[in-house]
């Protein structure tokens, strides 16, 4: 049973949604009774869930509401709360588990609308197929079996060419199957990932491995998967006219820290130094350590993640900036260039 302060904070989002197994669920109220900061965070999360329920629609289904009188956002929040308890996983895999649960809660809203255009040239069905393909490299590396026939790629193909071929092949394969079958395979693969030793033990997940051009600890690859599942859940929600809530603050800050680390590596040690501040989080100096800071850049954490996910144009992302405009532009353009989603 988890009783340590940091451990309980990792459980708050899932606890608020009723998604913890009994042993972990019972530990949370005991800790909240003696920890003021965790109690305040739990109340903030409960209020977020209440807001997601939203007011009843003005008229019968006048705004596209659910048949039971709830708004679409309320239906989504209700599905989140009602989903089965996820298997206990280590802290690094919790954001991925939550992102998968969020997508599962959203997909019933796609019934009858699987052909709705979403992003790139993908419809809803193809976007889920893409996520099935995107989770596959980590699944294979952790010893799981592929759920889609293999693709033919040249031996000297770079990872980007191999990845583009694989995702196109998987989408083509899944378009020949019912959407429900694609969703079932995505869910089964996600469950299998969350049942691996690497998802349940932080020590086992500390080993580094290269996937999608990135050499990272397996724990961080789970965060990459959480990032992508959330981004595409948001894509699908927008296409269907539904607002998908961002990850809980604790998860969002983990995604931000990982993205900043990757961005720093991509910029390299010779780039003009820029002080990057993400609202509600830390500050980092990106670029050269041998020069004085040339500019400051402030971004909202969700906007920063959407920029890194390729969902914002570097020229239009909301930001605060001062100093060398060229140095700021370089950071924004490099961040946007990281996206393969």
Q: Tell me, what's the pLDDT at 51? A: 43
Q: Are 193 and 135 in contact (CB under 8 A)?
A: yes
Of 50-64, 88-102, 251-265, 305-319, the poorest mean pLDDT is in 50-64
User: Of 114 and 82, which is predicted with more confidence?
Assistant: 114
Tokens of 299: 């971004």
User: Of 338 and 231, which is predicted with more confidence?
Assistant: 231
Q: What does the alpha-carbon distance between residue 97 and residue 112 come to, in Å, rounded to a whole number?
A: 26
User: Most distant CA pair in the chain: distance in Å?
Assistant: 64
Of 26-40, 118-132, 325-339, the poorest mean pLDDT is in 26-40
- The CATH 1.20.120.450 portion of the chain extends over 87-245
Q: What confidence category does residue 64 fall into, taking pLDDT thresholds of 50, 70 and 90? A: very low
Q: What confidence category does residue 40 fall into, taking pLDDT thresholds of 50, 70 and 90? A: confident
Q: What confidence category does residue 13 fall into, taking pLDDT thresholds of 50, 70 and 90? A: low
Q: What confidence category does residue 150 fall into, taking pLDDT thresholds of 50, 70 and 90? A: confident
On the question of pLDDT at 60 being above 60, the answer is no
Average pLDDT, the chain: 83
At residue 329, φ and ψ (nearest 5 deg) are -60, -40
Determine the average pLDDT of the residues in 261-284.
92
Q: What confidence category does residue 63 fall into, taking pLDDT thresholds of 50, 70 and 90? A: very low
Q: What confidence category does residue 2 fall into, taking pLDDT thresholds of 50, 70 and 90? A: very low
Determine the average pLDDT of the residues in 91-107.
93
> 109, 77, 107, 71: which is closest to 13 by C-alpha?
77
Confirm or reject CATH 3.40.50.1000 for domain 257-337, answering yes or no: no
Q: Are 200 and 90 in contact (CB under 8 A)?
A: yes
Q: In what order do the strands lie in the sheet with 320-323?
A: 283-286, 274-278, 295-299, 320-323
- Catalogue the E-assigned strands of 212-294: 214-217, 274-278, 283-286
pTM for this predicted structure: 0.76
Q: Are 244 and 237 in contact (CB under 8 A)?
A: yes
Q: Are 143 and 196 in contact (CB under 8 A)?
A: yes
Q: Tell me, what's the pLDDT at 255? A: 94
Q: Tell me, what's the pLDDT at 87? A: 52
Determine the average pLDDT of the residues in 296-316.
94
User: Of 312 and 157, which is predicted with more confidence?
Assistant: 312
Radius of gyration of the chain (CA): 21
Strand partners, 277: 283, 298
Pick left, alpha or beta for residue 18 (phi over 0 → left; psi -120 to 50 → alpha; otherwise beta). Answer: left
Q: What does the alpha-carbon distance between residue 226 and residue 255 come to, in Å, rounded to a whole number?
A: 8
Q: Are 100 and 128 in contact (CB under 8 A)?
A: no
On the question of pLDDT at 280 being above 90, the answer is no
Helix, strand, or coil (residue 174) = helix
Helix, strand, or coil (residue 286) = strand
Q: Domain 87-245: what homologous superfamily?
A: dinb family like domain (1.20.120.450)
Q: Are 264 and 284 in contact (CB under 8 A)?
A: yes
- The CATH 3.30.1050.10 portion of the chain extends over 257-337
On the question of pLDDT at 53 being above 50, the answer is no
Tokens of 300: 């909202």
Helix H or strand E encompassing 214: strand 214-217
On the question of pLDDT at 272 being above 50, the answer is yes
Q: What does the alpha-carbon distance between residue 97 and residue 19 come to, in Å, rounded to a whole number?
A: 10
On the question of pLDDT at 74 being above 60, the answer is no
Determine the average pLDDT of the residues in 247-257.
92
At residue 289, φ and ψ (nearest 5 deg) are -95, 0
Q: Tell me, what's the pLDDT at 101? A: 93
């Amino acid at each position: 049973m988890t009783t340590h302060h940091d451990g309980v904070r990792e459980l708050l989002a899932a606890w608020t949604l009723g998604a913890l197994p009994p042993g972990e669920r019972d530990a949370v109220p005991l800790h909240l009774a003696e920890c003021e900061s965790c109690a305040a965070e739990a109340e903030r999360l409960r209020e977020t869930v209440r807001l997601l329920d939203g007011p009843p629609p003005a008229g019968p289904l006048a705004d596209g509401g659910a048949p039971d009188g709830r708004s679409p956002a309320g239906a989504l929040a209700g599905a989140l709360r009602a989903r089965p308890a996820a298997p206990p996983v280590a802290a690094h895999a919790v954001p991925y588990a939550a992102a998968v649960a969020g997508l599962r809660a959203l997909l019933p809203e796609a019934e009858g609308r699987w052909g709705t255009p979403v992003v790139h040239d993908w419809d809803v069905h193809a976007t889920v197929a893409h996520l099935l393909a995107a989770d596959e490299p980590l699944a294979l590396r952790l010893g799981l079996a592929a759920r889609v026939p293999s693709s033919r790629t040249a031996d000297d193909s770079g990872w980007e060419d191999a990845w583009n071929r694989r995702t196109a092949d998987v989408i083509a394969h899944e378009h020949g199957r019912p959407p429900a079958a694609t969703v079932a395979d995505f869910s089964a693969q996600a469950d299998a990932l969350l049942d691996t030793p690497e998802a349940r033990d932080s020590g086992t997940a500390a080993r580094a491995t290269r996937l999608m051009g990135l050499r990272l600890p397996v724990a961080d690859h789970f965060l990459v998967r959480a990032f992508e599942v959330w981004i595409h859940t948001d894509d699908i929600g927008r296409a269907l006219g539904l607002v998908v809530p961002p990850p809980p603050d604790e998860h969002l800050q983990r995604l931000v820290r990982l993205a900043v680390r990757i961005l720093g590596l991509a910029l390299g040690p010779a780039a003009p130094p820029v002080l990057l501040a993400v609202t509600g989080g830390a500050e980092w100096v990106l670029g050269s350590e041998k020069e004085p800071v040339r500019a400051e850049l402030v971004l909202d954490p969700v906007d920063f993640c959407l920029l890194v996910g390729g969902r914002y144009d570097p020229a239009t992302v909301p930001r605060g900036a001062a100093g060398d405009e060229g140095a700021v532009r370089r950071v924004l353009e490099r961040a946007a260039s990281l996206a393969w989603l």
